[in-house]
Amino acid sequence: MNRKDSRIEDLINDPSFQHWVHKTNPIDVEYWEKWIALHPERQDVIESAAQIVRGVKFKPHALPENEILEYWQQLNQRVQKEQKRPAIILRTFLAHPYTKAAAVVLLFISVAYYLFIQHTSEHIQYASNYAELINIDLPDGSQVTMNANSTLDFQDHWKDEEPREVWLQGEAFFEVRHKANNQPFIVHTNDVNIEVLGTEFGVNTRRQKTQVVLNSGQVKLNSDKNQDVKDLIMAPGELIEVSDTEKAFTRKVVDPEMYTAWRNNLLIFEETPIREIAKVLEDNYGYEVIIEDKNIGEKRLNGTIQADKLNILLTAIAETHQLNITQENKKIIIKNHPD
Amino acid sequence: MKDEEPLNESCFLWEEFRKGKEKAFEQLYYAYFNHLYNYGFKLSHDENFTKDCIQELFFRLWKNRNKLKPVKSVRFYLLKTLRHDISRKAVRRNNQLKREQGFAGFQANITFSAEEVVIEDEDNAIKKIQLLNILNTLPKKQREAIFLKYYQGLEYNEIADIMAVKYQSVLNLIHRALKALQQNETLHKHEFFIIVMLLSRLLF
């Protein structure tokens, strides 16, 4: 680009010029310092453009979230009411003889259109917030329940001759439909590729490792990162964990329900150390958990609680082990009871 | 608040909403409510009116979701629609305005409050008030351009579209406003210097 005839509007829209003004990229800073030294006649233009890029700083006013929640609920009521109406209109519309014929013709045209036009697939991503579960229908009818703070990526259309593929970051439970043509289904994570034919299993990719728990069916694991994990077949009730940082992979028999109870909004703890519970609070709910004493982290908890009743969980922990638990916004502090 | 949502995520939500996914619609509501409320309130100076306009806007969007097209910027689309709705309603409320200028005549009168302005020297209340005075006494069009660019984070061509002016006019408006603000700074530095000089004369 010939920068000699740069006008103000070219400069203000140039990302590298913006980086120079805000000093956010040393390469750009160096480039522009040199350019400005070489073109003293552009001094005025540079100054005006820099002034516009810097502009004015504002701190926009934000309403409290519970107020917005209230407004949303009011709107949602109207939306739900409106949803009920169209069905009636549709019925009477189709009942009319002429419209029935028209509907058939339209159907024929749209099917023909679909058959003759190339179906291009688009990239889809689902992302869940903290403390949020999302149910997803995949293009082949398979179901995914995605836990909080997770993302799932896939193409919205799968060809029969190619494997069905999804990419997961976080935690999800898959119910994969078996296809008559034995079309494989592959879940990609940072650490492994999980190939299934038709089955139910949970995948957790938190904390730089991937943990796969198989409920039913059969899966095959492959890892580019760990050579020992090659065409590794899992049986129901097994848990396998592949880590970015550790050489060996873990393999053990577990009760799969414990690891996938979150789908039904339950958290099941069986001799679970508090430091593990802390990780769940951090990964799925976005809290920062501070445990004052390492010994506290090793104390264990048994029980089943509803995943949306966190205060019951905290009370249970506090009372079982005589601990003092305080919460400040998104911070949870666990310490010994001053006895 | 300017860059809270990455561009592709909001476009993705918009597409999901067009398909009728209620969850996406809800997330759009939460993502843009503050943007719309701030703009609406600055245009109308009426809290309830603004809230009603936003509810109307979203309800209409929901009813017509099948007829909507994909958008490049959800923020721009929503802000522009809101401004259009408010100017129509405001003109209807104020018949005199209608007689004199018609719909195109609606000119936003945007003012800023002290809590919204950020300066480097946060503890300098006097400096803040000086800046605020200059800002709020700028010509109306300059104020709206500054608001849309630095408060709402819109692109220059989007601002030109919303304000129904040429692209170059947007640059001019912003440039003039910023110059006025800068002059205010140097002017007061100059005054301060003179005061110091006079004081030192008195003392020595």
The whole-angstrom separation of Cα B38 and Cα A67 is 14
Helices and strands per DSSP (H, E), number in chain A: 11, 19
Number of Cβ atoms within 10 Å of the Cβ of A288: 13
Contact list in B for residue A62 (CB cut-off 8 A) is 1, 34
ipTM over 0.85: no
Query: Long-range contacts of range B35-39, CB-CB < 8 Å, 24 or more positions apart?
Result: B35/A60, B35/B1, B35/B75, B35/B78, B35/B79, B35/B152, B36/B78, B36/B79, B36/B82, B37/A63, B38/A60, B38/A61, B38/B151, B38/B152, B39/B79, B39/B82, B39/B83, B39/B147, B39/B152
Least CA distance to A56: which residue of chain B? B150
Q: Which residues pair with A238 in a beta bridge?
A: A253
Nearest-Å Rg of the Cα atoms of chain A is: 28
Chain segment A218-231, per-residue pLDDT in tens: 888 888 778 888 88
**CB-based contact (8 Å) between A74 and chain B?**
yes
Chain segment B94-108, per-residue pLDDT in tens: 655 444 444 445 778
A53, A61, A77, A78: best to mutate for the B interface, most B CBs within 10 A:
A61
The minimal CB distance from B178 to the residues A9, A51, A74 is found for A51
Q: How confident is the prediction along chain A (339 residues), in pLDDT tens digits per residue?
A: 455 567 888 899 888 999 999 988 888 899 999 999 998 888 889 998 999 999 888 999 899 988 999 999 999 998 888 776 544 434 344 444 555 555 555 555 555 555 555 456 778 888 888 888 888 889 888 889 998 888 899 988 888 888 899 999 999 999 888 777 778 899 998 888 998 866 888 888 888 788 999 888 888 888 877 888 888 888 888 999 888 777 778 898 988 888 888 888 888 888 889 998 998 888 888 889 999 888 888 998 888 888 878 888 888 888 888 899 998 888 999 988 876
**CB-based contact (8 Å) between A70 and chain B?**
no
DSSP state at residue A151: E
Q: A with B: how many residue pairs have Cβ under 8 Å apart?
A: 92
Contact list in A for residue B22 (CB cut-off 8 A) is 79
Closest by CA to A9, choosing from B168, B166, B149, B141, is B168
B58, B63, B127: best to mutate for the A interface, most A CBs within 10 A:
B58
Closest by CA to A187, choosing from A206, A160, A205, is A205
Query: How many Cα atoms are found within 13 Å in the side-chain-facing hemisphere of B74?
Result: 29
**CB-based contact (8 Å) between A121 and chain B?**
no
